[in-house]
Every structure is written in structure tokens, then in C-alpha cells.
Amino acid sequence: MCAKPVLWMPRRLSDATIERARRDYELILNEADTPGTAEEIVAMSARVDAMIPCHSEHFTAEVAAGLDPRLKIIANHSVGVDHCDLAALKARGVVVTNTPDVLSDATAELAMLLMLGAARHAVAGDRLVRTGAWDSWSPSFMVGKQVTGARLGIVGMGRVGRAMAQKARGFGMEIHYFNRSPLDPDMAQGATYHATLETLLPQSDFLSLHCPASPETTDLMNARTFAMLPDWAVLVNAARGALVDEAALIAALDAGKLAAAGLDCFKTEPGGNPAFAGYDNIFMLPHIGSATTQTRDAMGYRALDNLDAFFAGGEPRDLV
């Protein structure tokens, strides 16, 4: 009987994922559930055949150069792979996969929450009631920005972007999008395509970011691009913190250019940007776009599916 491949999980994934992994692999699980350091990743590569890391484990070129030849595959528990130097890992002969499809709806749900919470003063309103400070009312009290019928600009019309558009249609929103190429009509579902960000932004009462982080998209939203939005627009970012110049975001809020922002990701994670805490019109969550039981089980299973295919001698479904 062949020995089972040895698998390292540096983070504690869902119970269902761990149970299946223990059944099919010799599992080394970090019960402390702390991010794997560069030193731990390199050391563990001599002990295991596979890893299922999260976005918290960084496979830089330096880390890749130190990997032991025993490590054959990194099956990411994430869609984004900007924490991996793909070229360096490929040069070491390491296969890399991700988990697309399964978290689109959960992430789009959270983006809708961010959009609605930012538009309707969720932070200030919750604080007012929670602290017992709500002691009056008037027609001018906490008047927010209406979502229904507004124009929604989506940057990146991939799986999550399309799921966001589908949910926004339930609010009667007019969908505009910027993508590398226009979608087929059956996928666009009437959304208006913009070949450039410069034509999308003036049409975006609400702007939702759903593109990957890359050198080309770093600080995509900056002083110049914020200025192109309609006055009193709302920014939503449930993708990656690298997409937003945070100092420019604060400046746009201070100037009244932006009415509010809903953020699930930040330049620095964990922790976020301490300067944002002084702004009730920034509605923030701690990067939990995929954090539903159903989705976390599906992500773990998708990563294991990729490992199963690889160790069976086939090609993993989600090669990147």
C-alpha cells in the first residue's frame, strides 16, 4: 500500500475540510492557526509533498528559492494568488492552484452589505443606538444615499463582479462595467461596457472594485481617479487593499467628493488603517468576504480536489 502524501495546513480550515484531509492525507495541521512565516514555509517544504496555504502565507521569490524539491504543489485556499510569486514557483517546478467560483456569491453579498452600510450611515447609526445617544428625530436626521435606481460601476466583471451585478439588479441599479474585454451579451445581462476606466468613473454613483491586485492595478483608485467620480459617490472594495490609495481616499472624503466608503480589505492586513477609525462614513469589515460556513467548506474541498487530481496523476482543475 502506497503511503499517503504528506500535507501541511498552516491555518485551521473548516472542520469538514480537516476531516477529509485527515482521511486522504498525512496531515500536519497548525492547531495554533497563526500565519506561516517564510522560515516555517521553507522548513516545512522538506517534510511535506503539498501545502494548502491561505492569503496570509507569502511565497516570495526568496521563499520559492529556498523550497525543498520534495514540495510539489501549493493548493491555495483563496482565489487571489498575489501572495505567490508565480514565476519563481514555476521555476522551482511547484504547481500552484486556487479556488475560483465557490466564493463569488458570498463575496458579492458582503460587497452589497458594504455598499448599503456605507450609503445609509450604518456606523454612525449603530453607535448612536448602541450608546444610548439616540434621543431625537427630524426629517433631516441621518439622510443617506439611495441605492435603488442608482448607477453602479463595477471594475472587473469576473465571477464576483458578475455576482455583484446580479444582486444589484434586484435593487433596480443601472450596471456599468470596466473589464479587459466586453462580456458576451448573455453574461453582460444588459450592463454597459466601458473600454476605459476614464469613461466608467463619471457614470458611477457607486463604484465596486472586483479586479485582482497586480502591478497594473496597485493604487487604481488615487487622487486622479477619485476626481473622475460624480460628486458624493460611494466606493466599495471587497477585492484587495492594494487597489486603493488610502491617503487619497481620506482626502476625497474630507473634500466631500466621496460620500462614504465600504471596505473589507486594506493595505495593511491584519490591522487596517488606524486613520479610518475617525470616519463614521467608512464602513469597515475585517476581510471576511468568503466567511460563510458553506463557502469555507467549498473552498477547502476545492483545494483538496486539486490535490487529489494532482496526486492521481492528472491535471488539477484550477491551475494558475
Q: CA-to-CA distance for 255 and 116, rounded, in angstroms? A: 22
Q: CA-to-CA distance for 160 and 167, rounded, in angstroms? A: 11
Is 240 a known active-site residue?
Answer: yes
The C-alpha cell at 239 is 477585492
Task: Choose the catalytic residue: 20, 77, 121, 287.
Answer: 287
The DSSP-derived string for 95-130 is: EEE---STTHHHHHHHHHHHHHHHHTTHHHHHHHHH
Task: Choose the catalytic residue: 240, 246, 296, 302.
Answer: 240
**Starting at the edge strand that comes first in sequence, how are the strands of the sheet with 233-237 ordered?**
192-194, 174-178, 151-155, 206-209, 233-237, 258-263, 282-284
**Cα of 169 vs its chain's centroid, Å:** 21
Task: Choose the catalytic residue: 19, 198, 269, 315.
Answer: 269
Do 196 and 221 touch, CB atoms closer than 8 A?
A: no
Residues with a known catalytic role: 240, 269, 287
